[in-house]
Amino acid sequence: MTSSAADTHRCPHSKSAKGTWSRSSHARPPSIPQVPNYRLSMTIPDWLQAIQNYMKTLQYNHTGTQFFEIRKMRPLSGLMETAKEMTQESLPIKCLEAVILGIYLTNGQPSIERFPISFKTYFSGNYFHHIVLGIYCNGRYGSVGMSRRAELMDKPLTFRTLSGLVFDFEDSYKKYLHTVEKVKIGLYVPHEPHSFQPIEWKQLVLNVSKMLRADIRKELEKYSRDMRMKILKPASSHSPTQVRSWGKSLSPRRRPASPPRRLGRRDKSPALPEKKAVDLSTLNEVGYQIRIYPSSGGQQEGAVVLRSALSPVSSGGTAIIY
């Protein structure tokens, strides 16, 4: 065997092989993607593209295990802490995690309005759920997010209407033979990372599979106009929005009158009848009106018996005064 062949087939436990193994064990750790920083020279579309590129660098999570727990009812401050962990761990993410990360990275940009857009689709006997982060800025709509399909995550900030953005997603789903069943749109997420208010995920729910496109467009345009005017309130707020009907007032109704007081043990006797006008012609010399009733239970109800002032007029009755 030649020397070159001997070098090729050298025993892995030889001295030179050990040196090679020790050098490989000190290999550089994998690089961590750098979190993008906004610069004043950047335009909003460039900034959103930088955020999307950062998400793509993290890659989509195909493992089937979600690395970060996202509870939708948590306050915004708690979700922002989870997003900070994503930037520190640099692990693959899914669509819901990408929405939280997109909110975290766009905080502090008041010209950018963020809102969640959810899709429920049907394909081959199964239902699928997906969510992206809708973006509104300077009269244009777009989105950022993550998906297995490139057409189902980020959309450029070029759509003039919200319906145009939603219809573009629907057309993208058709390429993969998915039928969009429902679309859910939330409210604008506030730019307050320390807010204790949860995100409103589904303020508007459209059953698009049973609606015409004209009706869908009408509902979306009305909803987007209300969002821009900031007149919508979260459904989870303590003071829900009241809808006023024609000719009716929104002032609170008066409470019904309290029920009549129940009679106590001392008040169970029936009320006395109203007093009648006294006929002066029947008065006696003392000034009392005296009537005689038989003592066999014929006494009228409510009469007062005069026990000491008058004596019985006859042996068969009792003197009674009203």
Question: Catalytic positions, please?
Answer: 95, 130, 147
Q: How far apart are CA 4 and CA 287, in angstroms?
A: 152
Tell the residue number behind the tokens 């970060």, with chain if given: 68
Q: List the structure tokens of 255.
A: 């409470």
Burial of 253 (0-12, 13-18, 19+ CB in 10 A): exposed
Who's near 262: CB < 8 A, 6+ residues apart? none
Beta strands in the chain (DSSP E): 113-123, 126-137, 140-144, 155-159, 179-185, 204-206, 291-294, 304-305, 317-321
Its sign, for the CA torsion 273, 275, 279, 280, is: positive
Coil, strand or helix: which one is 95?
helix
DSSP state letters, 121-138 = EEETTEEEEEEEEEEEET
